[in-house]
Structure formats: structure tokens, C-alpha cells
Structure 1
Amino acid sequence: SATRDTEIEAIIHDWSDPVFTAMGLESSEVEILLINEADLNAFATRGRIIGVNTGLILRTRNANELLGVIAHEAGHVKNRHTLRDGAQQAGMQPMLMTMALGALAIAAGAPDAGAVLLGNSQYFGTLSALRYMTHQEGEADNTGARALERAGESGRGLLTFFENFRSQEVFSDARRYPYFRSHPLSSDRIENLRRLVAEQPHYGHQDSPERVAQHALILAKIHAFMDAPNTTLRAYPETDETLPARYARAIAWYRDGQTDRALTAVDVLLGEQPQNPYFWELKGQILFEEGRPAEAIGAHQRSVELKPDAPLLRINLAHAMIETQDAAQITLAVDQLKRATALEADNTMGWRLLSQAYATQGKEGEARLASAEMYFAMGA
């Protein structure tokens, strides 16, 4: 299922937007969607959505590898690849032809030969579809690698990510990661990519210290929210005083019901980085989930002040305001939700809360309209 995190989305967009621009895509029109799945997978859609599983992110060894995967998926968007339709089309023709030959063989009095042809028809269709997908993957590699170079980034991460999982190609299809079922690797494909990126001037470019820290923070935050708290606390013991580790422990304690300990840890982080909207967001989330919405408002308000263009932060604030059941706060919540849905018109949570707020105010017409917008955003 899709999951939202303003901080992770903002970091990845900050890395990726120059690559999208170098590719000739309007960065504001490309949506990066986080998928809460442990499998290693990523995809691109016709609607300029790039989906990345949290499981894939956790398997990247550095920021450049994650950026390389995103550049590759953007290459599919740029080249307007419609993998499923194209692969099916490529596979159907040889499969139908083989089936027809099998039927003719049976009719001609060679049932054994006909049975063999019919039995292998799906195999020949699969081979043709695989060739089609491999061709598209090579195109996306080239487009992504060239855009990385134009943006001043190294294409090495794209290469090393694929090299790291090259052994998957020798496994049976059932044992492969989903990513390599839809993104078939081959020795030729990797060699072509190696030749391309190794000749680029920015091949030796290294991730900046800031980007290294951001990548570590992304991994820590995903682990903290997706893994069991005790697993996170073992992975990030209190002897680890790095920022990602302390962030992960604060989240793990919150999820484990150790509210006071979590709040103390967040307050320490805020003492070091008072201008960090995401630490304020976490504090507000902890207070809200603890059933203290009135106290959560201040933290969420501060997160909005620090990052006013983030619709999810406004929705968090509005939700806390609504839960106070105070008429004045609900009026303020309506304003926040109007702003949030103006920034992100397809945010179903924003429309649902707006409908709830209007209903609480007795504005049934506005409530029904907001509810209709919610269903429209859901595609219903």
C-alpha cells in the first residue's frame, strides 16, 4: 500500500528534480510514491508516477544508487514506455502463431509434433515479451544515465545497484525479486550500461556529506516506522549517538508506547535543530496519538510555519484542531484543509477531514461537496 512521508518525499525530490529537468520532464509533474512493501520493486506509470517500495530503498547502499533507480524509472516515463501492454502484444503474436502451427500439425496427422508446439506456445510468447522488456530496460538505462550526467550526477549508482543483484538473473522466476521480473537484467545490458557511465565526466562524483547523512536518515526512519520497535532498538542501540539512530529510537519508543521517553528524545533533537519541521511533526504526532490533541496543535503549527508548502503537515494540524471539538479550532481547521487541498487536490484525507469539519459546523452542503471531492480523488 502507498504510504506518505513529507520528509522522505522532500529529500528524494530534492535529489531527483534536477535529473527530471535534465531529462526534459517538468519536475513538479512527476510524483514519487512510496510503497510500504518489503519486496524490492519500483515502477513508473503513464501518469508520471514513480513508485518505489520501501524494501528497495532499504537495499540501496548509498544515495547515488537510489537516485540511479529513480532516474531509470524516469527514463520509462520520458520514453513513454507502456511495458504491460507492449510486452503482452509482443508475446501474443508468436504464441498464437505457435498454437496455430500446432493445430495444423495435429490436423495433418502429426499429433505428437502438434502437442509439442502447443505446449511450447507460451514459452515462445514469454521469450518475445522478455526481449521487448529488455529493449525497454536498455532504453531507460541510457535515458536515465545521460540525464544523471547532465544534472552533474554520477551514473555509477545505477550500475552498482544492478550489479549487486545480477545473481538474481540465474534464479528461477519464482525466486526473483519482483523488480527483476519486470526489469530483466542481462550481461549485455549491464555491460552496455557500464561502458556508458564509465565514460561520463561525472562518473567519479561522490555523494556530498549532506546527502550521505540524508540517506542514512531515510533508512533509519523507514526501519523505525516499518519494523517492530524492538527490532529497531536492536539495530540502533543507545550506544549509537548519530542523529539517524537517535531519530529512529524516538520513533521506536513512541510506537512501543513509551511516550515520555519518546517525547524527551524528540525534545533533545529539537534543542539541536529547532528549525526542523519534521521533528515538530513527530512531536505533534506523538501527542496526538496519545490523545492530547490540544497539546499537539502547537507542535503541528510550528511544523507548518517552517514548511508552509507541505499539505500533509497542514492536514496533521487540522486533524488535531478537529479532535479538540472546539468550535474556534474547527473553523481554523477548515482554513488549513482548504489550503492543503489547494496544494494537493487528490489528497483524500484532506477532503475527508474537510467534510467532517463542515458537518460538525452544520454545513451539510459543503460537507457533501467535500465528500464528493474525496470520492473523485479516490477514482470512485
Structure 2
Amino acid sequence: MRFRGAKGDWPMRLFGVLFAITLLVFSHPNKSWAQGVIRDAEIEAVIRDWSDPIFKAAGLRAEDINIHIINDGSMNAFVTRGQNMFLHTGIILNAETPNELIGVIAHETGHMAGGHLARSDDAMSKAMRPMILTMGLGILAALAGAPDAGAAIISSAQKNGAVTFFAYTRVLEASTDQAAENYMEATGQSGRGLLSFFQRFRYNEVFSGATKYPYFLSHPLSSQRINALETRVEASPYKDVVDSPEDLHKLQMIKAKIVGFLKPPETTFNLYPETDTSEPARYARAIANYQAASTKIALKQMGELIKGEPDNPYFNEFYGQILFESAQAQKALKYHERAIELRPDSALLRLNLAQALIATDTTDNVTRAIMELKKVLARENDNSFAWYQLSIAYERQGKIAQAKLATAEQAYAMGAYLRARSFAQRALMDLPQGTPEWRRANDITLVIAADPKIRKQIAQRRKRH
């Protein structure tokens, strides 16, 4: 389990500096691979169907919690400040039942509801103070020409600091397991999913050398957690509740989608051979053919799926996506419109429709696209792609000032603050003063100007030019 350090915490800031120096002294550069956030209407809807009742049981407002799916095959799930929950695709693919995945979500919800992030920051600060002083001595020793002695001192400091911190997190993890079971019981579900998940992957929690340093775990030892959780689960009146056939099917469908989009087509075809005629397998093969640029085959396969399940919004969405990316935007409209009819609350489905409308490049459709995009942004104001599409639509209409403002919003949502400031200032020059749009452009410039970090970036940029 990972916790994010608090901004403005001097031990954490100093630790970052010392850690960077340590890397320079004792390490060599290596590659790092960034994983992206996946946005998919179907996957998000399924996860939300399972998570929202858990959030409610924990006394949290589901609408305030952001769930992010990360394209990473490793098994991980964690929460950060701002009520953000992250699920790796690996944990979804490795879940054998919905109950297992819901159990993991319940566990992470326990961290949110328990305020563990703030508490862990305090624990980390206390652990870091002696650790930082010792590491400082180690770095001085290394710089003085005794790298072996320096490495030994730093290694000792890291172990001692970790022991102090993980002793605290062990208590949190155990209490969070119990909280997760509370939420499962409150929603009438069995806790056996979380239990079976721990049993199958218990060794994934152990760091190398854990037998020598049993405290070097970010969680309590699996055997301890399993024993405590098993006692609680077996005492629950809901212990024998099983997943519904509908939920089991949903899990298989989103697994098929993840594999189809993220794995090479040949891998998907091996995992879902033609002999497998189940709906998830047919879905995965259609996606794989689309990925392999076998458009006609993908359309044929999706057409057959739609024929069998015409009211599936995500089948219609994907069929429309294939058409759109095959330069058939006009034909794609009817499928995106059907998807919206079936799932009108989905911002992502509406965004796909807006994109197709803009691509047709007719006056009426561009006007309609702007209306659809405003609905999307009312739900997801930080959706940078929606702002990008809105800038295109406004430009098509000749509304250049509005297009500049939309570009500023896009940049702001992406954290590109210098670009956001630049386009907001350009928009201010052209927008009528005092209008809502003018005020928004002005707000962007003022907020950015008030941030000392951004002011520093601007000053550095001016020096370079």
C-alpha cells in the first residue's frame, strides 16, 4: 500500500533531497515506464455499480470519490488525498470473482473513511526525523571518500525508518480489513472475496528479505491478516452469499475488454480462441480485430453481438467508434446516439457522440456538438479532451475567442499552466469585458499568477528567452 506524503512537510521535503543525493552517489540511471490512466465508459460503470454502495456504507459521498483505472499489469490498488482511488488493470484481471474485487475496493475505502492518509503522513514524519539525520551522516561519509561506510549507514537508516513506519501501518492495515468487512456486511455481501484474494496472493505482499526483516512489509504479514479476517468473515451472516450471474458476466466482459485493448491481438486470440463462443470471448476477438486493423471483421463481429443484445450501450458505442475511426463519422452517429439513449448519464458516451458530430463538419452538427460538450463538462469539468473538442467546435463556428478560452481550460486541466495562462490572456483580449467567459478567463490568469511555483516557472522561462 502506498501513501502520498503531505506537501509542506519539512521532513518529507528534506528526505526527497537526501534521497536524490543518495541516488547520485550510489546509483546509475535506469529506464522508467509511465502507465496511463484508462477512461472507458463500460469499465467505469461496472466498477461504480460495485463501489458506490460500499462508499455509502462507509459514510462517504460516492459522487465525491474519483476512481482511476491505471494501465498497469501489476496487482495494486491505492488511495491518495482528495478522495482518489486507483485500481491497476492487473488487479481487475487477477480477480476471479466480483466479490474479490469489491473486497479490495472495500479495503481501500476503509483507508479513506479512516483518514489514514493524514495519519500516515504524521507517522512517516516521525519515522523520517531520525532516519534523515542518519542518512545525512551516511552521505557525508560517502562524499568524504568512504562509499562503503556511507552505504552501510544509509542502509541502516532506511531499515530503522521503515521499521518505525511499518509498525504503524501494520495496525492500520489490520483495522482496515475489519472496516472492509463492516462495509461488506452493511451491503449484504460476503467477505470471502477479500479473504480468498489474500490467500491466493499472500506472497505478493512480502518484500525480498522479508524472512530476515519481517517488519519490512507495507502491510501486516498475510498469515496474520488472513487469520484475523477469516475469523470475522466466518462469523458473518452473509458469509455464504455469492455473486449474481449478472455480476459474474460483467466481470468477464470488462476483463475481455481490457485484454482486447491492451494486449497484442495474437495474445487475445490465444486467450480467447474461436472455439470459445461465449459473449466475453466474442467481444475480446472483435476488439482484437479492431486493434489489428481488420475493420470489416471487427464490424461483422460487433454487428452479431448487437443483434443478440441490441440494448447494450457499450456494443453500440464500440461499433460507432470503429466507424468513426474508419472515416465514417456520419454512419457512426446513429450508434453513438443509441448508446446515449441507453445510458444518458454517461459523460464519456456523450463525448464520443460530440466528437463524431464535429467530424461531420456540418453547421447543425457542430452546434449540436457544443451543446453535448457542455453537458459533458457539467459532469466532468476537468476532462481535457472535452475542452479540446470544444475548442475545435468553436473554431469551426468562427468563435476564436471562445476557442482560445477552451484551449486555456484544456491546458489548465492538464496542468500545463503556462500554456493555460497564455491562452487565457489571449481570450481576454477578444472577449467582451464582464461576460461570464471573460470572467472565467480572468480567473484562470489570476489563479495561475497567485501560485508561487508557476510564477517561478514564468520567471525562468523569461530568462531563457
Return the TM-score normalized by structure 1. 0.90
| Structure 1 residue aligned with 2:50 | 15
**1:87 Cα deviation from its structure 2 partner:** 4.9
| 8 Å contact from structure 1 (residues 37, 54) kept in 2 | yes
Query: Taking structure 1 as reference, are residues 182 and 357 closer, same or farther at Cα in structure 2, changes over 3 Å only?
Result: farther
Supply the distance in 2 between the matched residues of 1:220 and 1:206 (Cα, whole angstroms).
22
CA-to-aligned-CA distance 1:165-206 (integer Å, 9 cap, x gap)? 1123445179xxxxx965454432222222222211111111
Q: Is residue 2:209 matched to residue 1:209?
A: no
| Cα distance, 1:120 vs structure 2 | 2.0
Whole-angstrom CA distance in 1 between matches of 2:104 and 2:40: 19
Partner of 1:106: none
- Alignment-derived partner of residue 66 in structure 2: 31
Deviation at 1:348, TM superposition (A): 1.0
* Letter paired with 2:360: T
* Distance (whole Å) between structure 1 residues aligned to residue 205 and residue 388 of structure 2: 45
Match of 2:361 among 312, 322, 325: 325
Residue aligning to 2:159: 123
What letter corresponds to residue 252 of structure 2 in structure 1? Answer: A
Q: Structure 2 vs 1, CA of residues 203 and 360 (structure 1 numbering), >3 Å: closer, same or farther?
A: same
1:61-119 C-alpha deviation (Å, 9 max, x unpaired): 111110011111111111122176345324214435767999xxxxxxxxxx9997775
* Structure 2 gap ranges (5+): 1-35, 139-148, 211-215, 418-465
CA distance in 2: counterparts of 1:169 and 1:295, whole angstroms: 50
Query: 1:75 aligned to 95, 110, 113, which one?
Result: 110
Structure 2 counterpart of 1:347, one-letter code = N
Residue 52 to residue 100, structure 1, CA distance change in 2 (3 Å): closer
Matches of 1:320 and 1:67 in 2, distance apart?
A: 35
**Is the contact made by 1:95 and 1:121 (CA closer than 8 Å) also made in structure 2?**
yes
- Is contact 1:309–1:343 with CA below 8 Å preserved after alignment? no
CA distance in 2: counterparts of 1:158 and 1:349, whole angstroms: 36
% of aligned pairs identical?
Answer: 47
Report how many residues are paired.
365
Question: What does 1:205-284 align with in structure 2 at a 5 Å threshold?
Answer: 205-284=241-320
Counterpart CA distance in 2 for 1:114 and 1:324 is: 65
1:1-380 pair list within 5 angstroms:
1-82=36-117, 85-95=121-131, 120-172=156-208, 182-183=218-219, 185-379=221-415, 380=417
The answer to whether the Cα contact below 8 Å between 2:205 and 2:218 also exists between their aligned partners in 1 is no
In the alignment, the residues of structure 2 paired with residue 117 and residue 243 of structure 1 have an alpha-carbon distance, to the nearest angstrom, of 58
- Residues 279, 116 of structure 1: alpha-carbon distance in 2 compared, 3 angstrom cutoff: closer
Instruction: Select between 16-25 and 134-143 the one with higher mean Cα deviation.
Output: 134-143
Map Cα deviations across residues 329-370 of structure 1 (whole Å, 9 max, x no partner): 111111111111112111111111001110111111211222
* Runs of 5+ unmatched residues, structure 1: 103-112, 175-179
| Code of the aligned partner of 1:154 | S
Cα deviation code 1:125-160 (max 9, x no counterpart):
111111122222222212111111111011111111
TM-score w.r.t. structure 2 length? Answer: 0.74
- Answer whether contact 1:94 1:128 (CA < 8 A) is retained: no
Range 73-82 or range 91-100, more displaced? 91-100
User: In the alignment, is the contact (CA less than 8 A) between 1:280 and 1:302 conserved in 2?
Assistant: yes
Deviates more, 1:76-85 or 1:267-276: 76-85
2:68 alignment partner, SS class: strand
Query: For 2:409, what is the secondary structure of its paired residue?
Result: helix
Counterparts in 2 of 1:95 and 1:287: CA distance versus 1, 3 Å: same
Q: Residues 91 and 186 of structure 1: is their aligned pair in 2 closer, same or farther, counting only changes over 3 Å?
A: farther
Residue type at the aligned position of 2:253: L
Instruction: Give the letter aligned to residue 400 of structure 2.
Output: E
Aligned in 2, Cα 1:101/1:340: closer, same or farther, shift over 3 Å?
closer
- Which amino acid is 2:164 matched to? S
Other structure's SS at 1:82 match = helix
The answer to whether the 8 A contact 2:205-2:219 is kept is no
What one-letter code is carried by the residue in structure 1 that aligns with 2:299?
L
CA gap of 1:191–1:299, structure 2 versus 1, over 3 A, is same
Query: What is the root-mean-square deviation of aligned Cα atoms in Å?
Result: 2.4
By relative contact order (CA 8 Å, sep 6+), the higher-ranking structure is: 1
Deviations 1:220-276 (A, max 9, x none): 111111101111111111111111011111111111111111111111111111111
Aligned residue identity for 2:201: F
**Is contact 1:87-1:130 (8 Å) kept?**
no
Return the alpha-carbon distance in structure 1 between the equivalents of residues 273 and 44 of structure 2.
26
Structure 1 window deviating more from structure 2 (82-91 vs 154-163): it is 82-91
Residues 271 and 114 (structure 1 numbering): CA distance in 2 closer, same or farther, change over 3 Å? closer
CA distance, structure 2, for counterparts of residue 71 and residue 222 of structure 1: 22
Q: Report the AA paired with residue 3 of structure 1.
A: I
Displacement after TM superposition at 1:300 (Å): 0.9
